[in-house]
Amino acid sequence: MTPTLALAGEPLPLVGHARAYVCGITPYDTTHLGHASTFVWADVATRVLRRTGVSVEVCRNVTDVDDVLDAAAERAGSRFDSFAAVGQFRFDRDMAALGVRPPAHEPRAHNHVDDTVRLAAGLLARGVAYERDGEVLLRASAVGITDVPDDASSQVPPSARADDPADPTIWRPAQPGEAAWPSPWGDGRPGWHAECAAMALSVLGPSVDLHVGGADLRHPHHTGMAAMAEAMTGVRPFARARLHVGTVRVDGAKMAKSAGNLVLVSDLLESWPAAAVRLLVLDRPWAQAWDVSPDDVAAAADRLERLFSAAGRHVDGEAAADAVLAALLDDLDVPAALALAESEGGEAARLALSVLGLT
């Protein structure tokens, strides 16, 4: 029997191949631990799937058409695309150091503006979107966006042109000085959810097996993105499974530049092995929000040493190794897998270190 990954109690049966869409960065700043957590967990999910014999095609986008990025580029006296390229270089460097494997596809939003225009036109033609003064919006009530999760984020303020505050923007007019692209509704820019939907549809097709992002993207971003994709293609669900990775906090506050509480990956890597930083992220349930403190990295480094010591023990551990893999297939239960690896040692520890990308 082929082993199957289950997430949040739901099995994800696969035959040979899986498609994963990972919501990537807006490259306007250096990578902090909150960013890294999402991408390390995405990497582990794909490693576990590959361990079962499934090939995984990963698409991780780059949101380089973004108001915040534009503002940062203007302050730096740079074009938005040049500024984004520098941020992307720093991000790639940090991901490589943490052992996050490069995705097969890395679409950039500015290369998919025409696809977003086609998405907007298609949704208008299907009667689930409307245009107001050069802005195209998705009618939330027409696509089933009715229930807002209790943990919904408010990253995107409602448009003043919207018939309903819940209606997300697909395309909007450009403001003076903004980069803009032509469309049937005038020069403008993609909406955030729409550009992600357009990239996913263009690269991976009408649906994905796994959709990964931070917990703060659950709503409205992933809700809006999925609603647009489903309304355009008629294929439901857009994502068979979702991995919404828990928020990283400092003293109870979400890690964010605006809060002034960033823990930068590059700073951690100056003092600690990359595998210890990776283990710091992984040694907990993936959906759990958590607080990071200075002592946590030292504790992760200590545990890493114990795991390597356990891996060096000569024991007959085939059954224990199978149990480690079973724990990882059961909702990516890294704490259970690590406990088995450390107690049983030998092949169980070596498998855990390998699959979790700690070697």
pLDDT (tens digit, 9 = 90+) per residue, 63-75? 999 988 888 888 8
Six-digit token string for 214: 């931070």
Q: How far apart are CA 103 and CA 32, in angstroms?
A: 20
pLDDT digits (tens, 9 = 90+) for 154-169: 567 899 999 999 999 9
Mapped onto helix, strand or coil, the DSSP state of residue 342 is helix
Q: Which positions ≥6 away from 29 have C-beta within 8 Å?
A: 72, 87, 257
- Asked if the model's pLDDT at residue 32 lies above 80, the reply is yes
Q: In the structure, what pLDDT confidence band is assigned to residue 270 with cuts at 50, 70 and 90?
A: very high
Q: Which pLDDT score is estimated for 324? A: 98
Q: In the structure, what pLDDT confidence band is assigned to residue 1 with cuts at 50, 70 and 90?
A: low
Q: Report the sign of the C-alpha dihedral through residues 133, 222, 106, 229, in that order.
A: negative
Six-digit token string for 293: 């403190």
User: How big is the chain by its Cα radius of gyration, in Å?
Assistant: 21
Q: Which residue has the tokens 């460097």?
A: 93
pLDDT digits (tens, 9 = 90+) for 319-354: 999 999 999 999 999 999 999 999 999 999 999 999
Six-digit token string for 121: 């036109």
pLDDT digits (tens, 9 = 90+) for 201-225: 999 999 999 999 999 999 999 999 9
Quick one: average pLDDT of 302-309?
98
Quick one: average pLDDT of 239-251?
97
- Asked if the model's pLDDT at residue 151 lies above 70, the reply is no
Backbone phi and psi for residue 33, each to the nearest 5 degrees, phi listed first: -65, -30
Record the pTM.
0.95
pLDDT digits (tens, 9 = 90+) for 39-50: 999 999 999 999
Query: What 8-state DSSP symbol labels residue 293?
Result: -
pLDDT digits (tens, 9 = 90+) for 275-289: 999 999 999 999 999
